[in-house]
Amino acid sequence: MRKFFVLGILFISNLGMRAQDSKTTLDSIMTLDAYLGYVKQFHPLVRQANLEVNQAQAGIIAARGGFDPKIEVDYENKQFKSTEYFSLLNSTFKIPTWYGIEIKAGFDQMEGVYLNPQNTVPANGLTTLGIAVPVGQGLLINKRMADLKKAKIYNNLSQAERDLEVASILHQAANSYFNWYRNYTEYELYQTFLNNAQIRFNGIKGLIQQGDRPAIDSIEAGILVKSRKLSLEQSRLKLLKSKLELSNFLWWDNLVPLELQDNIVPEKELDKKVENTLKTNGLLFSDLDMVNHPKIKALQNKLEILEVDKRLKGDLLKPRIDLNYNYLSEPEFIQDFNTVNYKYGVNFSFPLFLRKERGNYKIAKLKVQDANLELNLENQVLQNKIKYQLEEIQSLKEQIRIQDQLVADYNTLLESEEQLFFFGESSIFLINARENTFLSSSLQQLDAQIRYCVSNADLFKLLANPN
């Protein structure tokens, strides 16, 4: 009877593994790669990040509208006591160009009894072809040019910020998956150890009935069974919570939320696959392109926007001098260019103290200096974070290797203690102590694996390359 009991103990692990393999074939496995694919494609926050890019592209279209040709028509007529006081028609076609120069064409037709003499034109109307040139403010840069430049930079900025946002969301989702994996593996571990404790308890009761063991052994074995049941129930509750947290990241098309079903399980040996999934395997710091890192690009784009604002503010320090020239002709003689008929003008304005302009320009310069300091600091901080993360991953690999050896050694001690028990040289107390140490070491092994997975996810977030 004793031999049968001890053999049962020795084969518990194998039976547990066979039962676990059989269960896995009946369950559906959701890999980390497939899970992150769902998050990247359907999660609402990822879609919001993509919308920001679309809005920035729409901003470019809006900014280009400042250079659209424009037609202006102004018509005014006054009739009083059967007398036409005046009928005024002013029509203009304007074409803005990049360097603040504006080309325009117009047609004016004005008639009436009480017409202002300066509005007198030929009976068939008056055609004008002209150009307006700012030779001070607005020639090299103006608000139209600045708005379009900033819109293009904002588009690049939104792309970089989108990558940072998506990487952050995937990082959170990956951590939820790791937490689910930890609790699922821990639950299975407690279930296996509960089965072991129950089989041992039944065997002890059989030996007591045979008179081979003292009755106190059944109390000791029973306490372990109750302890394992308590741990299993606590683990079950943690597993349920982690499954619900994981479901927060699972969505389908048309914003349909998904719920993780009970037959869905995580993939096995996650620590051996996480690097390939997150594309962090074999990375060396010397291979990283920090110039094109989304965080650095975002800060550079913000700096470029401030540089455009500084140029625009600096342009306001110049005097405003606008020259305009218009060639005048009757419509039927428009092709007969005659420089005698023209209209030109000069507009000049300049604030005497420039206090407002000088103050705004100084503020713009300080903002550029501040952005430069932030860029240099963030670049150095980011490099140091990535260096540490790469070193941490290598350290955790070594810790996992040592922890695997410890688990194997504690398992050997447990099997040796069971053999001594078979020969009557040990006790159920020592077996339980060995098994508790083996369980604790197994949980530490799982913890090291999870920390390794989390460290890879942290590196993934730092690299911010979700594509």
Task: Write the DSSP assignment of 293-326 as a string of letters.
Answer: -HHHHHHHHHHHHHHHHHHHHHHTTS-EEEEEEE
User: In this model, does residue 121 exceed pLDDT 80?
Assistant: yes
Q: Using CA atoms, how far apart are residues 179 and 187, in angstroms rounded to an integer?
A: 12
Q: Which of 95-104, 206-215, 446-455 has the lowest mean pLDDT?
A: 206-215
Q: Which of 174-183, 213-222, 401-410, 449-458 has the lowest mean pLDDT?
A: 213-222
pLDDT of res. 27? 62
User: In this model, does residue 68 exceed pLDDT 90?
Assistant: yes
pLDDT of res. 424? 74
For residues 339-347, average pLDDT:
88
DSSP state of 393: H
Fold of 2-63+145-306+365-463: Outer membrane efflux proteins (OEP) (1.20.1600)
For residues 76-95, average pLDDT:
91
DSSP state of 122: -
Rg (CA), the chain: 40
Higher-pLDDT residue of 116 and 274 is 274
At residue 375 the predicted structure's pLDDT band, cuts being 50, 70 and 90, is very high
Give 288's contacts (C-beta < 8 A, 6+ positions apart): 386, 463
At residue 421 the predicted structure's pLDDT band, cuts being 50, 70 and 90, is confident
pLDDT of res. 409? 94
| Contact between 148 and 98 (Cβ < 8 Å) | no
Q: What is the mean pLDDT of the chain?
A: 88
Which H or E element spans position 102? strand 102-111
Q: Using CA atoms, how far apart are residues 363 and 316, in angstroms rounded to an integer?
A: 14
DSSP state of 138: B
DSSP state of 103: E
Report residue 292 as tokens: 């094109």
User: In this model, does residue 158 exceed pLDDT 60?
Assistant: yes
Q: Using CA atoms, how far apart are residues 172 and 189, in angstroms rounded to an integer?
A: 26
User: In this model, does residue 5 exceed pLDDT 80?
Assistant: no
Q: Using CA atoms, how far apart are residues 297 and 300, in angstroms rounded to an integer?
A: 5
Give 84's contacts (C-beta < 8 A, 6+ positions apart): 77, 78, 111, 112, 113
Q: Using CA atoms, how far apart are residues 65 and 437, in angstroms rounded to an integer?
A: 73
| Contact between 279 and 460 (Cβ < 8 Å) | yes
Q: Using CA atoms, how far apart are residues 291 and 310, in angstroms rounded to an integer?
A: 24
For residues 168-191, average pLDDT:
96
Give the strand order in the sheet containing 83-96: 70-80, 83-96, 102-111, 126-134, 320-329, 342-349
Task: Write the DSSP assignment of 347-385 as a string of letters.
Answer: EEE--SS-HHHHHHHHHHHHHHHHHHHHHHHHHHHHHHH
3-class DSSP state of 80: strand
Q: Using CA atoms, how far apart are residues 435 and 428, in angstroms rounded to an integer?
A: 10
Q: Which of 203-217, 220-234, 289-303 has the lowest mean pLDDT?
A: 203-217
pLDDT of res. 211? 72
For the four alpha carbons of 378, 384, 386 and 392, in that order, the dihedral sign comes to negative
pLDDT of res. 217? 73
In this structure, the chain runs to a length of 467
User: In this model, does residue 13 exceed pLDDT 70?
Assistant: no
- Look up the pTM and report it: 0.85
Q: Using CA atoms, how far apart are residues 225 and 194, in angstroms rounded to an integer?
A: 6
DSSP state of 290: S
Closest CA to 417 of 391, 400, 393, 436: 436
- What are the sequence ranges of the domains in the chain? 2-63+145-306+365-463, 71-140+321-353
17-59 pLDDT, tens digit per residue, is 333 443 444 468 999 999 999 999 999 999 999 999 999 999 9
Q: Which of 7-11, 167-171, 375-379 has the lowest mean pLDDT?
A: 7-11
Using left for φ > 0, alpha for ψ between -120 and 50, and beta otherwise, residue 13 falls in: alpha
Residues in a beta bridge with 74: 90
For residues 150-170, average pLDDT:
95
